[in-house]
Amino acid sequence: MAKKINKNSKRVLVVDDEHDLAELLELTLIKMGLDVDCAYGVQDACARLDRAAYDLCLTDMRMPDGEGLEIIRHIQAKGMDVPVAVITAYGSTDNAVAALKAGAFDYLAKPVALDQLRLLVKSALALDDMLVLDVSDRPLLGESAAMQHTLELISKLAKSQAPVYVTGESGSGKERAARLIHGSSSRAKQPFVAVNCGAIPENLMESEFFGHKKGAFTGANEDRDGFFHAANGGTLFLDEVADLPLAMQVKLLRVIQERKVRKLGATAEDALDVRIISATHQSLSQCVEAGRFRQDLYYRLNVIELRMPALREMGSDVLVIARHVLARVAKLNGQKLPDFAADALTALQRYDFPGNVRELENVLERALALADGCAITAADLQLSLSDHEDEEGLDLGEKFPLQDYLDRVEKQAILEALEKTRFNRTQAAKILGLTFRSLRYRLDRLGIQ
């Protein structure tokens, strides 16, 4: 039967020799508004990939005529731009790791949980967008407990209309989080307007925020909307809100309280519906104490606080994010995707990243330019580890090689958690602050039965 192709929607290739499972995946994806083709083996899949353009390929790992990995290799050999996610048999972490190493975007274990499938597909397609279209739609990456907690809070915040105040160090993803809240909320189809409050000259501030009527001041040659009008129905993101001058804070408070804006030179006010998300890397409460920020505005903005974790609090997420960033930058530059050498992985994990993910992005961009060969080395990263860290390492021989040492520490902590919970893995994962999936992965990697 000929399928109706929706020209604007994304196209997914599902590959599974089990027709029932293929159909279940197909139905789930169709419900997400995607166009889906099914292939029932490796050869069939490769032939379809050669014939049509796909935005994502979801493949079983083991099929009678070959392995899912062959599809990944086929895509790479042909230079196609198709992210692949593999579906692995329950508990076969080796397969998952092999697939990720071969270039798969992610994996799902059987039996496939449909909500996990939806999440994966959404982020795969968003990831693809980020590579070719709009950088702003990228999701927040990270599997650490800290990032999972943040993502859970973000999805709750998306269901509310309350003002959100995002805190976190510079480069930790505050704007990204604000976009995610907006993008997952009922306002998603309305505008998201991001304003850097520190970058607007004080004399223009009022007209930039509230707009003006023609003739309101010299040079006002026509009516103009300000940020509030532009964000009507959507979200206004006030970045570096601590930089607002006090006089402007008073006006902002009034607008937020009354939900009405009067353009400069206008007689009437316009009722507007704008959700405010604000952020700063400074401590707003300290600014209040120092008299630089109005307490009443602080209370209005800080109804709910979302704290973005620093990269150094996100454990091995640094590697997850590094791989994604490297893939993106290599693609943008039209370069072949290099691997990380073992010493580079160690260096990434040891470095503090005071500039967080933004710094990581810069480091990798530079490393990619410096690397000659197919691997990025620690030298290419040019990370200066602190003297303290170097000394510690030199004193303690047991810390070398670092990976073995870290594995021993990790194993010890996991065994303790398992003993405490009488080997209940769900409970142990909770104690350790890991997701169940992440604990299962670690148990396999460390060979804990």
Ligand X SMILES: Nc1ncnc2c1ncn2[C@@H]1O[C@H](COP(=O)(O)OP(=O)(O)OP(=O)(O)O)[C@@H](O)[C@H]1O
Binding site for ligand X (CB under 6 A): 138, 140-142, 168, 170-176, 239, 281, 321, 357-358, 361
Q: Write down the least CB distance from residue 321 to ligand X, Å.
A: 5
Q: Write down the least CB distance from residue 233 to ligand X, Å.
A: 23
- 255: nearest Cα among 228, 225, 216, 284: 228
Gap between the Cα atoms of 274 and 252, Å rounded:
12
Residue whose beta carbon is closest to ligand X: 173
Q: Is the Cβ–Cβ distance between 168 and 174 less than 8 Å?
A: yes
Q: Write down the least CB distance from residue 122 to ligand X, Å.
A: 15
Q: Which residues contact 31 (CB under 8 A, 6 or more apart)?
A: none
Q: Identify the burial level of 17 via C-beta atoms within 10 angstroms of its C-beta, where 0-12 means exposed, 13-18 middle and 19 or more buried.
A: middle
Helix residue ranges, H only, 374-435: 378-381, 387-395, 402-420, 425-432
Q: How many CB atoms lie within 10 A of CB 186?
A: 11
Q: Is 430 strand, coil or helix?
A: helix
Residue number with CB closer to ligand X (139 or 211) = 139
109 residue type, one letter: A
Structure tokens at 88: 């692995």
Q: Write down the least CB distance from residue 176 to ligand X, Å.
A: 4
Residue number with CB closer to ligand X (84 or 141) = 141
Residue number with CB closer to ligand X (16 or 317) = 317
Residue number with CB closer to ligand X (110 or 358) = 358
Residue number with CB closer to ligand X (138 or 275) = 138
Q: Write down the least CB distance from residue 308 to ligand X, Å.
A: 6
Q: Write down the least CB distance from residue 77 to ligand X, Å.
A: 29
DSSP 74-127: HHHHTT----EEEEE-TT-HHHHHHHHHHT-SEEEESSPPHHHHHHHHHHHHHH
CA–CA–CA angle 141, 143, 146 (5° rounding)? 95
Q: Write down the least CB distance from residue 294 to ligand X, Å.
A: 22
Q: Write down the least CB distance from residue 80 to ligand X, Å.
A: 24
Q: In terms of C-beta distances under 8 Å and separation of at least 24 residues, what long-range contacts does 24-29 make, across chains too? A: 24/112, 25/58, 25/112, 25/117, 28/114, 28/117, 28/118, 29/58, 29/121
Structure tokens at 178: 């604000």
Residue number with CB closer to ligand X (42 or 146) = 146
- Within 158-269, strands assigned E span 164-167, 192-196, 235-239, 260-261
Q: Is the Cβ–Cβ distance between 64 and 70 less than 8 Å?
A: no
Residue number with CB closer to ligand X (43 or 170) = 170
Residue number with CB closer to ligand X (170 or 316) = 170
Q: Write down the least CB distance from residue 281 to ligand X, Å.
A: 4
Q: Write down the least CB distance from residue 131 to ligand X, Å.
A: 13
Residue matched to tokens 């198709």: 82
Residue number with CB closer to ligand X (168 or 315) = 168
| Dihedral sign from CA coordinates of 160, 162, 167, 172 | positive
Residue number with CB closer to ligand X (149 or 254) = 149
